[in-house]
Every structure is written in C-alpha cells, then in structure tokens.
C-alpha cells in the first residue's frame, strides 16, 4: 500500500522512514513537510496539495506535534484516507474522540500508536503479571530533554505536554501490562518559570486492588537515561528496563533487545492489519492518565529552562 509521511523531523527520519522501507506492506510514496525531505520520494509542502495530486495514496501517517495534528488528520479523513497517528494522538481527548467518530462514519481505519507498547519485553511482562496479585508498581522515567528534543520549543507550549511527552510512553506500557485499569489520585508538577508545561512530575495512582502505584518523570537527567518500571507482586518482582526492551524477574534477566528495536516496524505491521480488516485502534488510556495528571497536579515553580 502507498503511504504518505507528514512531518519530516527527527522521529520520522530516525524511526518511521526505516520502518516503512523495511516493510513489505508499505511503499513510501510521498512526504509532506515545510522543511524536511526524504531522498528519492516526492515531496510536498502542503497536505491538501498532496491529497489532490496523489489519489493513489491510501494511508497518511502523521508525525507532527500534537497541537496541529487534529486539523491534518481530519483533512486526510475527509479525503478518504486512513490515518496513523504518532503519539500522543492529539492535544486533547475530545479531539481524539472526534477523529475516531469521523473515521467510523467514513468507514476508515485510524490508529493511535503507542510505540513503547511494542518494545520486545512488554508482551512477556503482561503475560507474567496476569497471574499475580500486584502489591506495588513504580515507574522511573528520567531523561535529558536536550538530548532527545533539541530545539523543539512546542513541547513547552500549551498542548505540548512537557515531560509527559516521554512520560506517556511509560503510561502506555503500564496500561498495557496491568490487568486492571488505574487512575490518577494526585500529582506534583515542576513548571519552569518560562514554560507552560512541566519539566518534572510525581504522580500517585489509584489501583482497584489497593496496590501502591507511583511514577516519577524528569527531563533534567544527566548521564545515564532511566526508563524503568518495577512491579512487586505476591510471587516476585518484575522489572522492565530500557523502555521495555529488557525484562528481569527477581533479578534474573529473561530477555532483552536494543531500545526501540522493532517498535516502529511493529506499528506499521499493525496499521497494515487494521487497514486490511477495516478496523480502528484508538486506545486513549495513556493520554487520559497524562491529561488527568495535568488537571490534578499541584504546580511547583522551578528554574527557567534554556535549550
């Protein structure tokens, strides 16, 4: 199937383009970006122009920041194209529901992707936890924003999510591996004096079984980056490290892979499956937890941030 990639930034170049190139399901037929291009691929600077010129392209994959994503996605749906959304799927829950409703009315597929759910050890962790009684779960997600999001000012503006942009990856794993749904009970948010979104967060969650669940997100990490989830249960302790690429049970490693290895190819395989079956995948639980933390969180002013 022919696909167009919209928004040719770092994540598109590093992950989306190689995943499409390595897939037997997809043919990257066009790009849309004001600045970026992919060598050898027809490039447009306007989505409407691409949709008008390339009626043969059935699917549009959006790698834009979350705030403009709704308008682009709705434009593609109205043009009869299936839509794939980079995480988070939008700036608000309501607009994501509107996109899903539009896709259903048009008989089109739409996919809210969560790449961290496709890390190598996430499925194994979900299976292991299914037969246990959870006692506690701790998420530690700390990285250096300057390393991973250099010069991306939109993350500090309303709708940009701040530290929840990477933190939502952790929430996507947690909502996938836990048998029971959780919700935010309280949060603290570190907001730089010159920003609209948090650079750090501490969150407590309610678990229906009474397990203690908490998360710490921080974008000020120097040195080693930390992406870990530890679950204490009645039969032992499970740890997911490196964003879900490594799994340990009671300190014994049961499998591992390189971080991000295979995640984006699996997203595109899932999108191909949805299009062929005429289905929709719009799980918004990770975004619900993130936006609820932003709604409930107590704001704590902190030092100004300069990239």
**Location of structure tokens 């829950």:** 93
Q: Which residues contact 40 (CB under 8 A, 6 or more apart)?
A: none
**Residue of 2, 78, 87, 277 with catalytic role:** 87
What's the rounded Cα separation, in Å, for the pair 206 and 264?
31
For 264, list phi and psi in degrees, rounded to 5. -70, -35
Q: Which residues pair with 299 in a beta bridge?
A: 189
Q: What is the distance, to the nearest Å, from the Cα of residue 237 to the centroid of all Cα atoms in its chain?
A: 26
Q: How would you classify the pairing of strands 42-44 and 252-256?
A: unpaired
Query: Which residues on neighbouring strands pair with residue 83, listed in sequence order?
Result: 60, 110
d(CA 286, CA 289): 5
- Give backbone dihedrals phi and psi of 57, rounded to 5 degrees, phi first: -85, 115
| DSSP 8-state secondary structure symbol assigned to residue 90 | -
Residues 6+ apart with CB under 8 A from 22: 265
Q: How far apart are the first and last CA of the chain?
A: 40
**Spatial contact of 165 and 149, defined as CB atoms under 8 Å apart:** yes
Is 2 part of the annotated catalytic residue set?
no
Q: CA–CA separation, 38 vs 8, rounded Å? A: 8
Residues recognised as catalytic: 87
């Amino acid at each position: 199937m022919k696909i167009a990639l919209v928004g040719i930034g770092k994540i598109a170049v590093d992950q989306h383009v190689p995943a499409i190139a390595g897939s037997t399901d997809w043919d990257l037929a066009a790009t849309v970006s004001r600045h970026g291009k992919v060598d050898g691929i027809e490039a447009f600077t306007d989505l409407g122009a691409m949709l008008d010129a390339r009626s043969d392209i059935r699917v549009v994959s959006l790698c834009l920041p979350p705030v403009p994503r709704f308008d682009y996605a709705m434009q593609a749906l109205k043009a009869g194209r299936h839509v794939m959304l980079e995480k988070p799927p939008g700036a608000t829950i309501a607009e994501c529901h509107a996109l899903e409703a539009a896709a259903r009315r048009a008989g089109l597929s739409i996919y809210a992707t969560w790449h961290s759910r496709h890390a190598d050890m996430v499925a194994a962790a979900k299976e292991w936890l299914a037969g246990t009684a959870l006692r506690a779960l701790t998420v530690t997600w700390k990285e250096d924003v300057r390393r991973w999001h250099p010069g991306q000012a939109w993350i500090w503006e309303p709708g940009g999510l701040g530290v929840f942009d990477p933190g939502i990856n952790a929430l996507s794993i947690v909502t996938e591996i836990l048998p029971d749904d959780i919700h935010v009970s309280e949060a603290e948010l570190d907001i730089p004096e010159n920003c609209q979104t948090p650079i750090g967060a501490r969150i407590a969650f309610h678990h229906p079984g009474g397990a203690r669940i908490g998360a710490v997100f921080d974008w000020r990490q120097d040195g080693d980056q930390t992406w870990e989830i530890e679950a204490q249960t009645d039969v032992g302790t499970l740890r997911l490290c490196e964003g879900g690429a490594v799994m340990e049970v009671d300190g014994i490693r049961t499998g591992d892979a390189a971080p991000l290895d295979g995640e984006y190819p699996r997203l595109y395989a899932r999108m191909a499956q949805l299009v062929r079956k005429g289905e929709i995948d719009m799980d918004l639980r990770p975004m619900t937890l993130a936006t609820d933390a932003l709604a409930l969180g107590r704001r704590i002013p902190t030092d100004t941030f300069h990239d």
